[in-house]
A and B are shown apart, each in its own frame.
Chain A
Amino acid sequence: MIVGTTKSIKELIGITDRYKKILAVGCGTCITVCYAGGEKEVAVAMAALRIARKLKGGELATRESTIKRQCEWEFVEELDSMVGEVDAILSFGCAAGIQSLADRYEKTPVLPGVNTQFIGMVQKQGRWEERCIGCGDCITHLTGGLCAVTRCPKGQLNESCGGETEDGKCEVNDSLECVWFTIAKRLQETGELEDAGTYVESKNWEASHSGGLRMIEKESMLQ
């Protein structure tokens, strides 16, 4: 899923400062389950913004709506009747959601309420970890099903960087295991340790964001 974090109230105050009527839009899928921009987070943030505005001697009128997915037109449409009444939309969706609102409501400023962080998973209660950078050319079959492109901060595809601690913790974040340490354990368990001797060639980054804005078209579905 896409993981994000709610922007700080201080930042939201700055972003919304010039608007008097705001529609705050939550997103009911990824960003809800990482507790960044669901119904609850929207309510808390907007209450804080109203209080902050009042303390400055101003008024802030807010309306809140959480739709199922901000990244799909059929759900975004639900907002049509509300948008005309506000000065701005504050989206608590990921960056895809923010931009779909900006695409649909051309005359209304759309502001970000969330910092989109990564594609990842709940590793344990209260902790989300990154698992994919969307490189467009998955090679996890060469590394025990684990993504060294994402999980090694130096993107080392052939071995560890040597900066890890002797007990296998990552040089950059010692709360994480060096992915090459994990890969070795996994290859051993699956009886495929020899795979570590396969040279992983330089990646084709053209398939990633380096190649420019990406899109996928399925001809059979295009009308």
Chain B
Amino acid sequence: MSNQNDFTAMLADKKWVEIVEYEPGDSPEFNLPSELLNPAPGTFVAVTDSRTGAPAQSALAVCAHLGTKGVHPILNINCRDYNRIAMKSMVLGAAALGIKAVFFLPGVHQTLGPARESKNVYDLDPIQALAMTTAMKNSENGNGISILAGVQEHPLKGAPELKPFIMKKKIGCGANFIVTDPVTDFAKLDGWRKSVADIEGSADLPVFIGLSKESPDLPESVRTSGLYAGVYRYVS
């Protein structure tokens, strides 16, 4: 039986997982709601990283705080604000803190947030950040980190013909999990999942269904289809 507080074990045992996003505020206090400090078994907290482009409390600091409460969070890292030096440093710091998983996202473009005059970075894209983390895990130089790394997937957007090739890249770069964009059409989601089913490694790759407030209720047939590892509840 899996330790239901261990994200790695839950994925390895193919148990249904709930991931709930938490968005830190812009104050110096930790104000996490009690349900996130005491998550239900099989529920994990993903901490957003200045999600809207507005400066927020550091996701790494919030993850460290959660760690002191016995909660094992997922650290979100956007590609907007850091170059590969800062990202590597953050992944090493996360591993040192015992964080089990990092989730790379492009990040909302800064011109869509309140700090629109700031300069972005975009040194690496999320797949490249994933590859960087995989290389750190596999390196012989003593990085020696053990951390899961995931990226997003956009099943409802973009050219469907590209999707299998993109999935192949993500698997090739060492994705341990995939989180979809917020899903509003489960039939389309299934269409995407089937379109990438033949890619080597795809069947074993945990895919989390992204849900937002606009998402319809998750149909039981999708939940029990065996195609998905769980859900990821976006803040919005």
Which A positions have Cβ atoms within 8 angstroms of B? 153-166, 168, 171-172, 178, 180-181, 184-185, 188, 193-194, 196-203, 205
Contact = CB atoms under 8 A, between A and B. Distances in A.
B133 interface: no
Contact of A156 (B120, B125, B156, B169): B125
B176 interface: no
B100 interface: no
B181 A162 contact: yes
Interface string B118-129: 001011110110
Nearest to B84: A202
B30 interface: no
B197 to A, nearest CB: 16
Given A171-B109, A201-B131, A193 B80 contact: no
Contacts of B181: 162
B165 A196 contact: yes
A193 B164 CA distance: 11
16 contacts: A154-B120, A157-B128, A158-B166, A160-B158, A162-B152, A163-B106, A164-B158, A166-B157, A178-B158, A180-B162, A184-B159, A193-B165, A199-B173, A201-B131, A202-B123, A202-B124
Task: List the 5 shortest-distance A-B pairs measured between CB atoms, nearest first.
Answer: A197-B165, A184-B159, A162-B154, A155-B122, A161-B106
Contact of B112 (A171, A185, A194, A199): A171
Contacts of B162: 159, 180, 184, 193, 196
Contact of B106 (A162, A178, A197, A205): A162
A178 to B, nearest CB: 8
A221 B165 CA distance: 46
A200 B131 CA distance: 10
B108 interface: yes
B106 to A, nearest CB: 4
B122 A193 contact: no
A154 B79 contact: yes
A95 to B, nearest CB: 18
B172 interface: yes
A205 B169 CA distance: 22
B165 A194 contact: yes
A97 B232 CA distance: 53
A197 B168 contact: yes
A184 B152 CA distance: 19
A159 B152 CA distance: 11
B158 A159 contact: yes
B157 A164 contact: yes
B172 A199 contact: yes
Contacts of B159: 180-181, 184-185, 188
A154 B111 CA distance: 11
Given A162-B157, A184-B162, A199 B127 contact: yes
B161 interface: yes
Contacts of B37: none
Interface in B108-167: 108-109, 111-112, 120, 122-125, 127-128, 131-132, 152, 154, 156-159, 161-162, 164-166
Contacts of B108: 163
Contact of A154 (B125, B132, B164, B165): B125
Among A153, A162, A202: residue with most chain B CB under 10 A? A162
Among B112, B125, B173: residue with most chain A CB under 10 A? B125
